[in-house]
A and B are shown apart, each in its own frame.
Chain A
Amino acid sequence: MTWRSPTADDRRIAWLWALCAVLSVALRPIWLAAVPLLPACPWHRLTGVACPGCGTTRAISRLLRLDLAGGLAMNPLAFAAAVVFLVVGAIAPAWLAMGGRVPEPAPGPQWRWGIAGAAGVGLNWAWLIATGV
């Protein structure tokens, strides 16, 4: 991973990210109204065991209600991803405006990232099964 100066595209993406973060919070009533209408996880219904994504909706709806501990318990990975999405999105334009640099992955396959991602999903899944989410 290297860090480089931002381009015009990076600045646009930072603003898009910020807009999406703001929209996600601004559309909170719609997300919360949609939650009860969503069907239960079919994987969980069929197998009786949580799927890797189980608890995501509950984690995000609790985050939107500012129940941070409850959201984290529901699906730690989804909760962390949502927090990163909102927080980094909110500060991204300011970061670039202050001269911050942009991360760029090294060329070529990033198998270590893939293994880390798979391990993260696997550990999160084990947590979901162990806690009976």
Chain B
Amino acid sequence: MSEMLPPTATPIEAGLPWERPSSGLGSMLPTIGQFVTSPLAAFSKMSLTVDLVRPIAYYVVLVLVGAAIAQLWNAIFFEQTIRMLRQLLPPEFAERFAPLLQRPSVVQIVLTLIITPLLMLVLLFIWTALVHAGLVILGGAGGGFAATLRVVCYARTSDLAAVVPLAGGLVGFVWRRILEAIGLCTAHKCDPWKGAVAVILPMVVCCACIAVGAFAFGAAIASALKQMG
């Protein structure tokens, strides 16, 4: 009798669409949707045994999409952005960054789209290693390096924030850190604070100067705006 009852949930339905056997690029959209709408549930569904090529491929595709959207905004708002930068940046900076303040050619855009995923692959590995080192110290790395790598790959869903013009990078950065913290505590089954600290620690240790720089840059912009006003 029990053999006739329908199963309540098949393993296929339980996993991420992108991780189902022989799923194509089309399964990426529902996967993205799950990470956008309910990241906690999506990370709970994330497989810790599926071939690592899947999450890495997801990462590369999302990086490419983000880079393509950024190039699109760059093409649309190029003149306005350059005008604003020239007003805000001190003359020595404008001189220094002169090569970057010219409209890129089609060849440059294509080269950027080819090189960006390669650069980001190197950064993926380095960032994962830093985050995982923090987790190991805190005793929250039960799932191993591969689990951290999977989380960092899927957290790249945040690159979709590039659709927000100008502020997309900052929004994506914050969103990525939140996704990583959620994913780490879900995948490693550790306390949420450990996931959050593991994500923040490398930035505090390695990038304290960036934080000071961001503050100095903000102060410079504020004083420039005051002078303009």
A residues near B (Cβ < 8 Å) are 7-10, 12-13, 16-17, 19-20, 23-24, 27, 30, 37, 39, 41-46, 51-54, 85, 104-105, 107-111, 113-114, 117, 121
Contact = CB atoms under 8 A, between A and B. Distances in A.
A23 B122 contact: yes
Contact of A85 (B126, B208, B210): B126
Contacts of B208: 43, 51-53
A114 B140 CA distance: 13
Nearest to B122: A20
Interface string B115-152: 10011011011100000010011110110111001000
B52 interface: yes
B207 interface: yes
Contacts of B56: 16
Interface of B: 51-53, 56, 93, 96-97, 99-100, 115, 118-119, 121-122, 124-126, 133, 136-139, 141-142, 144-146, 149, 205-210, 212-213, 216-217
Contact of A39 (B99, B119, B146, B213): B213
Contact of A23 (B121, B139, B145, B213): B121
Contact of B216 (A46, A52, A107): A46
B196 to A, nearest CB: 16
Interface residue SS majority, chain B: helix
B209 A43 contact: yes
A15 to B, nearest CB: 9
Given A17-B125, A42-B216, A109 B144 contact: no
Nearest to B214: A42
Contacts of A52: 205-206, 208
B214 to A, nearest CB: 8
B121 A20 contact: yes
B118 A110 contact: no
Contact of A110 (B100, B137, B205): B137
Given A9-B144, A42-B213, A43-B213, A20 B125 contact: yes
26 contacts: A10-B146, A12-B52, A13-B149, A16-B125, A23-B118, A27-B115, A27-B118, A37-B97, A37-B99, A37-B100, A39-B93, A39-B213, A42-B212, A42-B216, A42-B217, A43-B208, A43-B209, A45-B216, A52-B208, A53-B208, A85-B126, A105-B136, A109-B138, A109-B139, A110-B136, A117-B137
A51 to B, nearest CB: 4
Nearest to B129: A85
Contacts of A16: 52, 56, 121, 125, 149
Ordered nearest first, which 7 A-B pairs have the shortest CB separation?
Answer: A42-B213, A109-B139, A9-B146, A43-B209, A114-B137, A12-B52, A51-B209
A113 B137 contact: yes
Contacts of B133: 113, 117
